[in-house]
């Protein structure tokens, strides 16, 4: 997620690391890779809804925020696991006959989806602080953190072993009494 933001989201000056890479290093790539790299430069992050499976491979999706024609996304993971109607967010790019994703798929919060759709339909900016990708990635990380916290809190606690003050602590090393005895031998 961090790499995606670092490469494809504009910084404060409005430039993207990916564009700087293309400008500085495109001539070092193979001709086919240069074409692909330029196609990837047009990637967009949006909230998508699965319409159904494509006859060949992948899925048909619609861009929930920007509308438009259905998009064929060639992605094995989505093809296998995404049920019709599910909404998610990811960065995709036009690869010619189909669109391809960058592999990072995050849940789309229905409230955020609705707010974004309304804003775009009125010609307004998206109601997010930095970018839609940063907002949804932050939500996904926070949700996972909270899930792990709840899982950790629900585990039964084991009593800590009782140690004498003369035994070395596995965490802190020798106890104060043991250190005092050592100093008296020096």
Q: How far apart are CA 174 and CA 22, in angstroms?
A: 57
Residue 105 lies in a domain: yes
Instruction: Report the largest interatomic distance among the alpha carbons of the chain, rounded to a whole angstrom.
Output: 84
Q: What are phi and psi of 97, to 5 degrees?
A: -75, -20
Q: Where are the alpha helices (DSSP H) in the chain?
A: 2-8, 17-25, 31-41, 76-81, 110-121, 132-154, 176-185
Query: Count of domains in the chain?
Result: 1
Q: How far apart are CA 101 and CA 92, in angstroms?
A: 4
DSSP letters, 115-137, are HHHHHHHTTPPPSSSS-HHHHHH
Residue 156 lies in a domain: no
Domain that holds residue 74: 2-141
Pairing of strands 59-63, 71-73: antiparallel
Whole-structure pTM value: 0.70
In a structure prediction context, what are the per-residue pLDDT tens digits for the chain, which is 186 residues long?
Answer: 878 777 888 887 888 888 888 888 888 888 888 888 888 888 888 889 999 888 888 899 999 888 889 999 998 888 888 888 889 989 999 988 899 988 788 888 888 888 888 888 888 787 777 787 878 888 888 877 888 888 888 877 776 666 555 555 555 555 455 444 444 434
Residue 182 lies in a domain: no
Residue 40 lies in a domain: yes
- Enumerate residues 6+ apart whose C-beta is below 8 A from 22: 37, 38, 41
Asked whether the beta carbons of 87 and 61 are under 8 A apart, the reply is: no
Residue 152 lies in a domain: no
CATH number for the domain spanning 126: value is 2.40.50
Residue 43 lies in a domain: yes
- Half-sphere CA count of 116, side-chain side, radius 13 A: 24
């Amino acid at each position: 997620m961090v790499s995606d933001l670092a490469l494809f989201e504009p910084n404060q000056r409005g430039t993207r690391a990916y564009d700087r890479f293309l400008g500085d290093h495109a001539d070092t790539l193979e001709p086919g890779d240069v074409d692909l790299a330029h196609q990837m430069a047009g990637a967009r992050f949006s909230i998508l809804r699965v319409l159904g499976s494509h006859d060949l491979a992948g899925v048909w999706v619609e861009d929930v925020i920007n509308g438009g024609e259905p998009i064929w996304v060639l992605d094995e993971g989505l093809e296998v696991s995404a049920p019709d109607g599910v909404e998610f967010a990811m960065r995709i790019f036009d690869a010619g006959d189909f669109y391809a994703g960058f592999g990072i798929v995050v849940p789309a919060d229905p409230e955020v989806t609705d707010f974004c759709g309304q804003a775009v339909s009125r010609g307004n900016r998206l109601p997010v602080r930095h970018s839609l990708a940063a907002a949804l990635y932050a939500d996904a990380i926070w949700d996972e953190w909270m899930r792990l916290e709840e899982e950790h809190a629900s585990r039964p606690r084991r009593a800590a072993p009782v140690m004498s003050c003369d035994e070395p602590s596995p965490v802190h090393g020798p106890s104060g009494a043991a250190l005092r005895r050592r100093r008296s031998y020096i």
